[in-house]
Structure formats: C-alpha cells, structure tokens
Amino acid sequence: MKYSKEISRRRTFAIISHPDAGKTTLTEKLLLFGGAIQVAGAVKSNKIKKHATSDFMEIERQRGISVATSVMSFEYNDVLINLLDTPGHKDFAEDTYRTLTAVDSVILVIDSVNGVEEQTRKLMEVCRMRDTPVIVFVNKLDRDGKYPFDLLDEIEKELNISLHPLSWPINMGKEFKGVYNLYDKSLQLFTASQKSTEENTVPIPNLSDPLLDEKVGERDANQLREDVELLEGVYGPLDIASYRDAKVAPVFFGSAVNNFGVKELLDTFIRVAPAPLGRETDKRFVSPEEDKFSGFIFKIHANLDPRHRDRIAFMRICSGKFARNTFYKHTRLEKEVRFSNPYSFMAREKDVIEEAFPGDVIGLFDTGSFKIGDTLTEGEQLQFTGIPTFSPEIFKELVNKDPMKTKQLEKGIRQLTDEGVAQLFTQHGGIRKIIGCVGELQFEVIQYRLLQEYGASCAFVPMAFYKACWITGDKKAIDDFVRFKQGNVMEDKDGNLVYLAQSEWFLNTERQNNPGIEFHFTSEFKTAMAK
C-alpha cells in the first residue's frame, strides 16, 4: 500500500466508437477541460480545418480518421487522467483490442443520428470479453436524431447491456435546449461553444422549481419532469459496483463539437470510474498496490517524430513505482534494461518524467528490443497475458518496386509489423514475404508509411488464403507436415511456424488428418506453452 495515494488519484481509460461518431472531437473537449489545450481542431468526415490534436500521423490528418492509438495525460480536479484515443475504423480493431488491455474503463461514443453501428457492436464484444466498465456518451444532440428513449432501447438490445441514464436531453436538433444532469440535479443550457464554461449551469435540485419553466419554457419543462419521473421510476439510483463490474453502463447525452455535456461526463467519470486495476500474468495475479514495479508493452510506434526516426514502446504500469535511470528486468530477453528518457504524452508532445505509478501509460525509447506483450519487472520472471495477436483475414505478397531500396524496405516492414498493424510471414526456407492484415486500409497505410518514412516503394499482390494458424505439436508430425505443405507453411517474425489455409475446408481437413498437430488462431498459445 506504499503508493495507494498515487494509485487512487489515477484514471486510465480509452474512448472507442464507430468512425465519425465524434470520438476524436470528444477527446479534444476533454483535453480542453483539463487545460491541456486551449483551442480544439474541427474534425469533420475526411475534411480537416485544423488537424486533431490526437491524430499525429500524416495519413490521419489527410484522411480525417484515426489509424493509431494516441496517448494523452492531463490533470483535472487533482485527478491524473490517462486517456487513450483509439482507431474507430474496423480495419484497425486489433490495435483497439490491445489498447483495451491497458485501460481500466471505456467511454463508448454513439452518434444520436445513426445509433448503434457495426463497429460499435464489435467494440462492445471486446469490452465484454474483458469485463471492462463502460460509460456511453450519446453525441450530436444538436442534430435531429433518434428519440432518446428509442436510442436507449436500441443500445440495450443491440449491445446486450443494461443502461442507466445519468443525464437527459431537452429536445434535439434545432429545438435542443440543454441537458438535465440526473446525477447532481443541475441543468445545463445549450449554447454552441468551443471553450469550456460553467456560465450556463443552473442548479435545480427540485424539478418543480419555477426556475426550470423560466429557463426552458413551460412545455419543455413539463416534458422533462415527465421524462425524469419515468427514468427515476425505472432505473433508480446508480449502483456504482454494478457499473464497475461491467453489468450496467451509465449514459450521458451531449454535443462534443459544441463542447456540451462533456463537463458533466468528465465530472461524473472521475467520481465513479475505477482506479487502476490489477492484471493476470502467466504465474499469478499482480495487484497495483504491490511495492515492486511491473508493467507491459501494449503498443509500439516507429517514427512518432519522422525527423528523428524514433521508435517508442508504450507501457502500462501495473504495480509499484517506475523510476527513470533504474534497471529493470526484460523478462522475455532475461536481461537488465534502463531508460534515461521515459516520456509521458500529450499526443505528439513528449515530456521526460522522473517517475510513474500504476495506471500510467509511458513511452520508452526502443532500439528494437521490445515486442508487443513484453513485460518489465524488478526481477521477478513473469509475463502479462491477454495481449494476443489474431489470425489475419486478408493476405498479400509484398513486392519490392525499387531494388535499390531493398534494405530500407526490409527495415521498414520489420518495424511496421512490430507495431502490430499487420503480420509478416516469410516463406519457410525462402525470402518470399506475405503480409496479413485484418482490413484493406492497413495495406494502404503500410504502403504510404514505407514510402514516406523509409523511402521504400512497394506493391501488394493479393493471395488466396483463408486463415493463418500457428502450429505446434509432435516434432516428427510437424516435420512431415512442413515437407508436404511447403507452399503453405511460413514463419512469423519470431520464427514460429504458421500454416496458411486456402479455405475452411482445407483447414478442417488438415486438422482431421494431423491429430499430432495443434492449430492455433491467436498467438496466446506461446503463453500456454510457457506455463
């Protein structure tokens, strides 16, 4: 309990959503309230006036979408907030999944006009797999959208989660007048604004107060009274334990682009969201209150600053205290490492830190010794689990278009695949390279970054593969399988054998014909083998 004060004042969460629901805009408005920025950039579908603070890659600024997770730390009301803004695009779901391993809770943004969308469902499935507490922010109330009660029904039905509204809108679209905060009994009147302000917040502990009629008009005041009576009858007070157990999701309404409803969300979030939680390892459960330091790498990003060709590993601290210039054990390599310039992040801005505590996300300068999932400790030999690599869905052969830049291409594709945006498979015993991705957009990002950051020009040739499976088992059975299936057996970056199946039928046939071989669909098998 040595660091309990530091732990209790930290909140680490991710913002997730379907593309264009307003996730990056909400991120910036939260930063406004934290005083981290003074002016927000306007982010509108593929058209950017001022690029978003949290989108630092050139391709993100050009296309108006987030394709990599950004990390931002700021203080608000004496609470240190570590906020991770994730990609919304489905092609980058794996990056989002890994990010969720590093946070303790999530804010899910839903567009009030479009409601629940395909990617929203997938993201919610990931949250449910990890029992991650969720707060829902229904955005774009300044547009004519779905009726709030209908939205609640749709969200509960589509996402299979119980909701608990903590704020309620007064009309929508052109008639939108504000939001009533059910949690602290106050009314916030709507004014389009790019700056944080408390001028329009009116305490109304009793809805029968004639001040409500004066502020929003008799008709809307009466409608709000009816709605709140119904809501309180159905939902009652929020059970914080149920929220933290991921059984209930509080709901807030607002308009992020107008900086509206965001403060209510943030104020309630820091009160109810969980402080840093413990994590499972291959040996035991690690509690944040333990005195000795431990942490894991959940993301790697090359060329965060293209001028310096740097490579940063993002680490979530799980226990104890991390201190600058201190030796720690890299458990996979079983060697001592230390860091003279560990960073905290404000999107592209980096500040060198002297120490960090459980819940913090810091950046470590990496010379190539880190991989996603690597663990650092004060000496104990353990590995944090639950950070798998998934089987890709699309496969393409990498073709070098400029033989003079072969070294640059080799270095670039190795570093980019280390980041986890794609997987690299090499023909067993040869030099043929196949890239596996979850979505088409990842190939575009890889091609763009290889050219812009490494000066290497490449093309991709589609391959007719259905799924990649890591294979383990009896040595003779593996050797025979590799000999007969040379054209379909590759090696991943770590030298593990991978079978690329042409179809589901081929995969099922090989599994039946080779009882001595196990076919794995995620890289978690390596953790299981180590136990």
CATH architecture assigned to 394-530: 2-Layer Sandwich (3.30)
How confident is the model over 136-152, as pLDDT tens digits? 999 999 899 899 999 99
Share of the chain above pLDDT 90, in %: 43
Termini Cα distance of the chain = 29
Residues 216 and 177: beta-carbon distance below 8 Å? yes
Residues 498 and 471: beta-carbon distance below 8 Å? yes
Residue 370, Cβ density class (10 Å: 0-12 exposed, 13-18 middle, ≥19 buried):
buried
**Mean pLDDT of all residues belonging to the chain:** 83
Band (90; pLDDT cuts 50, 70, 90): low
Q: How far is the CA of 522 from the CAs of 290, 445, 519, 527, in angstroms?
A: 30, 23, 9, 11
Instruction: Determine the Cα–Cα distance for residues 211 and 205; give it in Å rounded to an integer.
Output: 11
pLDDT higher than 90, residue 240: yes
Instruction: Determine the Cα–Cα distance for residues 69 and 417; give it in Å rounded to an integer.
Output: 15
pLDDT higher than 80, residue 304: no
How is residue 244 written in tokens?
A: 């933290």
How confident is the model over 468-524, as pLDDT tens digits? 999 999 999 999 999 888 889 999 888 889 999 999 999 999 999 999 999 988 776
Instruction: Determine the Cα–Cα distance for residues 87 and 94; give it in Å rounded to an integer.
Output: 9
Band (65; pLDDT cuts 50, 70, 90): very low
Residue 39: per-residue pLDDT: 52
pLDDT higher than 80, residue 63: no
When pLDDT is averaged across residues 102-120 and rounded to a whole number, the result is: 91
> What CATH number was assigned to the domain covering residues 11-272?
3.40.50.300
Band (405; pLDDT cuts 50, 70, 90): very high
pLDDT higher than 80, residue 306: no
How confident is the model over 12-56, as pLDDT tens digits? 999 988 888 888 889 888 888 777 665 544 333 333 333 444 444
pLDDT higher than 70, residue 228: yes
Residue 44: per-residue pLDDT: 34
Residue 296: per-residue pLDDT: 96
Band (385; pLDDT cuts 50, 70, 90): confident
Residues 182 and 228: beta-carbon distance below 8 Å? yes
Residue 419: per-residue pLDDT: 77
Residue 37: per-residue pLDDT: 60
Report the predicted TM-score, pTM, of the whole model to 2 decimal places: 0.79
Residue 175: per-residue pLDDT: 87
Where residue 249 falls (left for φ over 0; alpha for ψ -120 to 50; beta otherwise) is beta
**One-letter amino acid of 190:** F
Residue 449: per-residue pLDDT: 86
Residue 58: per-residue pLDDT: 56
pLDDT higher than 80, residue 325: yes
* Range in 56-65, 92-101, 135-144, 241-250 the model is least confident about: 56-65
What letters, b where the CB count within 10 A reaches 16 and e where it falls short, cover 391-424? bbebbbebebeeeebeebbebbbebbbbbbbbbb
Instruction: Determine the Cα–Cα distance for residues 55 and 349; give it in Å rounded to an integer.
Output: 12
How confident is the model over 268-300, as pLDDT tens digits? 999 999 999 999 999 999 999 999 999 999 888
Domains 11-272 and 394-530 share a fold: no
Query: Across the strands, what pairs with 343?
Result: 352, 363
* Residue keyed to tokens 């890299």: 330
Query: Is 279-377 a CATH 3.40.50.300 domain?
Result: yes
How confident is the model over 449-463, as pLDDT tens digits? 899 888 999 999 999
Band (244; pLDDT cuts 50, 70, 90): very high
Please list, in sequence order, all residues whose beta carbon lies within 8 angstroms of the beta carbon of residue 350, skipping any fewer than 6 positions away. 343, 344, 363
Q: What are phi and psi of 452, to 5 degrees?
A: -75, -35
Of residues 342 and 87, the one with the higher pLDDT is 342
Residue 59: per-residue pLDDT: 47
Domain positions in the chain are 11-272, 279-377, 394-530
